[in-house]
Chain A
Amino acid sequence: AQTVTQSQPEMSVQEAETVTLSCTYDTSESDYYLFWYKQPPSRQMILVIRQEAYKQQNATENRFSVNFQKAAKSFSLKISDSQLGDAAMYFCAYRSAKGTYKYIFGTGTRLKVLA
C-alpha cells in the first residue's frame, strides 16, 4: 500500500523569504501523480500544484515550485517570497495512475508566516 509522510508538523518563515516543505512517499508503482494542497484557516482544501511522475521537469505555479526526486521518492514544495496569506496547513497527496485513483494524504505541515 502507498503511504505519504510529512515529517515536519510545523514550519515558520519570515515574510518575503523562501521556505521548503518536505514530503516523502512509498510506492512500488512507476506511474503516479503527486499534489500539494493548502488548507487555510477557513478549512477549504485548495489545490496548489501537481506533478506527473513520468515528467522529469519540476512543476511550477507562480511562487510555488516542487523538487521531485523520483528515485528518492521525495516531493518537496518551495514557496518563494512568502506572504501572510500563505499561512496554512499544507498537505502532500499521492494518486496512482492505475486502479482506484484514490488520493492518499500526508498528515500535513502547518506553515506560519512571520511579519
Chain B
Amino acid sequence: DSGVTQTPKHLITATGQRVTLRCSPRSGDLSVYWYQQSLDQGLQFLIQYYNGEERAKGNILERFSAQQFPDLHSELNLSSLELGDSALYFCASSPQGAVGAFFGQGTRLTVV
C-alpha cells in the first residue's frame, strides 16, 4: 500500500459526460501529480500541484482541469468525454526531496 488513495477505482460513463476523479496523497506529501496511461502505453504527465498551487502542466487537454485543496487532496475533472479518454488515470504524491513519487492504484475510466 503506497498510502495514496484514489477514488473511484472504476468508472464507466457515456460520451459527452463529465466526471471527477479524487486523490488523497500520503500524509505530509505536498506534491500531487496526475498521469494518464492508455492501454499498453506509457505514462503521460498531465499536471502537478504543490501545496495548492499549480507547479507544472503537461499535455493536458482543455477539457480537463484539476485542483488541489487546502487539505492537499486533489481532484481531476474530465468533461465532454470522448471514447479516446478511456484510460487508467494515476495520482501520485511525493514528499520534499527526491525519494520518488508514490502512486495510487489508479482510476480506470471507460467511456462508452
Contact = CB atoms under 8 A, between A and B. Distances in A.
Interface of B: 2, 31, 33, 35, 37, 41-43, 45, 48, 50, 55-56, 58, 88, 90, 92, 94, 98-103, 105-106
Interface residues of A, number: 24
B100 A47 contact: yes
Chain B interface SS verdict (over half): strand
Contacts of A107: 41-42
A101 B31 contact: yes
A25 B4 CA distance: 28
A50 B100 contact: yes
Nearest to A53: B98
A104 B92 CA distance: 13
Interface string A96-107: 010111111111
Nearest to B50: A101
24 contacts: A33-B98, A42-B105, A43-B88, A44-B103, A44-B105, A45-B43, A47-B101, A47-B102, A50-B100, A91-B42, A91-B43, A99-B56, A100-B48, A101-B98, A102-B33, A102-B45, A102-B55, A103-B92, A103-B101, A104-B45, A105-B35, A105-B42, A106-B42, A108-B42
